[in-house]
Amino acid sequence: MPKLIGKTVNRYYIYIDDIPLVGHIAFGVIDRGTNVLQIRPTTICPYNCIFCSVDAGPKSVHRQSEYVVDWRHLVKWAKHVRDVKGDVLEALIDGVGEPPTHPRIVDIVAELKKIFPRVAMESRGYTLTKNLIDSLDNAGLDRLNISIDSLDPQKSRMLQGVSWYNPEKVMEIVEYIVKNTKIDVHLTPVWIPGVNDEDIEKIIEWGLRVGVGKVFPPFGIQKYEIHKYGRKIPGVKDVSWSVFRKFLERLEKKYGVNLYYKKLDFGIKPAKRYPIKYRKGDALEVIIVSPGWLRNEVIAVDKDFDTTITVAGIQWVENIAGKKLRVEIISNEDGIYIAKPLKSEVRIHNSFGDHYLKIV
């Protein structure tokens, strides 16, 4: 069972070292049908970015839990998924948190590099240090995708939602990486229309000047999008993809570099999928193991103990871990399973007597 390692007024902190690492969106291994696997070691993030699509950071209003995955357990499952798929070019360490905050991130990179031809990692940059970069370089990290959205200190602090952020520190780290390591840098700012238009240009000019993208495309501009559980910037709309493409085409002509994601060649191609075990409408019995990532969710595993499933619409209460529940799969996109309870109320028995699990 996952272990509770901390608790605040509104958040559980959970260590995962035994449950299956396929099936959940916030941690573990995700296969989206290409030769790249997403490896997610932690959900913890120190930022409160005002545009965050996954509501990360201390000020999250939707999250119920944060997770840290045991590094050996994570590597074991990454190898398992690779063995099943066969054709995997890259392990991309990303997530709904900030990957470098994982205490064993260097070990994760070193072990993944023994399994995969390429290992890359995403970061907003501020959690990186020169010592950590040197260790990641020695571990074999091939690429860092670094999100920096403005070079202006005041605007950067506003965008990151924290008072301590300094883009100059991130710039210094990026320049150190380019000059002193074999790690390539791919800059991935988020374009927020009407907020950082000019900043995107300055980031491109700076990136070209310092020499990012020695092996991989130097830039991958991200589109600001509004998600159900993400943060929304007042007065800012997420523009259409055609408007986004026109914005990038203007910059491509000005700077002579490809920016639109369909023009960027990372060697990504369709590949055999890790099997989709459950279809929409399937009914099954699961075992509750943990509070869910978002509020009014729990995490469960199936009877074979090889797939993790999110059960939505259940409020976590104490003493329900290990209890069985009948559910119906309502979503299985990319092997990420979400289910709902089949009954309107679930009877739970423990040493304190019978009570009912609250369905919300």
Assess whether 144 and 227 both reside in one domain.
Answer: yes
pLDDT at 350 over 50: no
Closest to 42 in 3D by CA, of 82, 84, 86, 5: 5
Mean pLDDT across the chain: 94
Summarize the confidence of residues 147-167 as an average pLDDT. 97
Assess whether 103 and 201 both reside in one domain.
Answer: yes
| pLDDT tens string 207-256 | 999 999 999 999 999 999 999 999 999 999 989 999 999 999 999 999 99
Tell me, what's the pLDDT at 329? 98
In a domain, 299, yes or no: yes
The total domain count for the chain is 2
Do 350 and 319 touch, CB atoms closer than 8 A?
A: yes
Tell me, what's the pLDDT at 344? 58
Q: pTM higher than 0.75, yes or no?
A: yes
What is the rounded distance in angstroms from the CA atom of residue 299 to the CA atom of residue 309? 6
CATH number at residue 304: 2.40.50
Beta strands in the chain (DSSP E): 3-7, 12-16, 28-31, 36-40, 65-69, 90-93, 118-123, 143-146, 184-187, 190-191, 222-223, 283-291, 297-302, 308-312, 324-331, 338-341, 346-350, 353-357
Summarize the confidence of residues 9-32 as an average pLDDT. 97
Domain that holds residue 338: 283-357
Assess whether 174 and 308 both reside in one domain.
Answer: no
| Dihedral sign, Cα of residue 286, residue 307, residue 273, residue 102 | positive
Tell me, what's the pLDDT at 353? 40
